[in-house]
Structure 1
Amino acid sequence: MARYTVIVEKGDHEYFAYVPALPGCTSAGQTPGEALDRVIEAIHLTQSYMTEHHIPLPQPIETIAEVEVN
């Protein structure tokens, strides 16, 4: 099992979620929770595709940090 960082951003009309370690693995939803649920589904689909095509699954490498800037 891998633990991936998911970024959720608020757009003009919906929320977008993406996984930096899995390029192209994105989703959207009307709420942050809906976007997260959908991106989890996208992660499973991406993992299945990569496994079926013998593509190594990338290991998560992101580090998230919040910084305060004046």
Structure 2
Amino acid sequence: MSRYTVLIDGKAGAYGVIFPDLPGCTAMGKTIDEALNNAIESLRQWVEIVSAKGKPVPDPRSPDAIRADERFAEDFAAGATLGSVTLVRKLGRTVKANLSLDSGILAEIDATAGRLGISRSAMVERLAEKRLPEFT
């Protein structure tokens, strides 16, 4: 997984996220958390589009490198802060995995999957896709 450094700016009710390493990749939200969550999907879609065109995806730079980049000096002077967004790619290839889970947790996964009309595997994938970026 790759972690991209982002610039976050805005004010209460209107926040924006830009990816300095990925031209045109942006996200917005009413809160910083919402903007960052939207940025996860923006990042994934940006990478899918660029990859589908056969173009290379730039490697992420460190926060220090972004902060030292003169192109963003005005953003920082205006109060922009740094954040991080993890790229979790969907490769379209299913792989079988054997997992050991607590029986109570597995029962809740199965119950929730049942209510949503999806499989256990689809439920685990949804949970991982949503929460994995928080742990990297």
1:47 equivalent to 2:47? Answer yes
Once residues 6 and 41 of structure 2 are traced to their aligned partners in structure 1, the CA distance between those partners, rounded to angstroms, is 12
Which AA in structure 2 matches 1:10? G
1:24 equivalent to 2:19? Answer no
Once residues 24 and 39 of structure 2 are traced to their aligned partners in structure 1, the CA distance between those partners, rounded to angstroms, is 11
Deviation (angstroms), 1:49: 0.5
Tell me the equivalent position of 2:101: none
Q: CA RMSD in A?
A: 1.6
Once residues 48 and 3 of structure 2 are traced to their aligned partners in structure 1, the CA distance between those partners, rounded to angstroms, is 16
1:30-69 aligned within 5 A: 30-64=30-64
Structure with higher helix content: 2
Once residues 61 and 30 of structure 2 are traced to their aligned partners in structure 1, the CA distance between those partners, rounded to angstroms, is 28
C-alpha change, 1:56 and 1:18, in structure 2 (3 Å) is: same
Unaligned runs of 5+ in 1: 66-70
Percent sequence identity is: 34
Tell me the equivalent position of 1:68: none
- The Cα offsets for residues 1-46 of structure 1, whole Å up to 9 and x where unpaired, read as 2110011112474001111010110111000000001111100000
- TM superposition score normalised by structure 2: 0.44
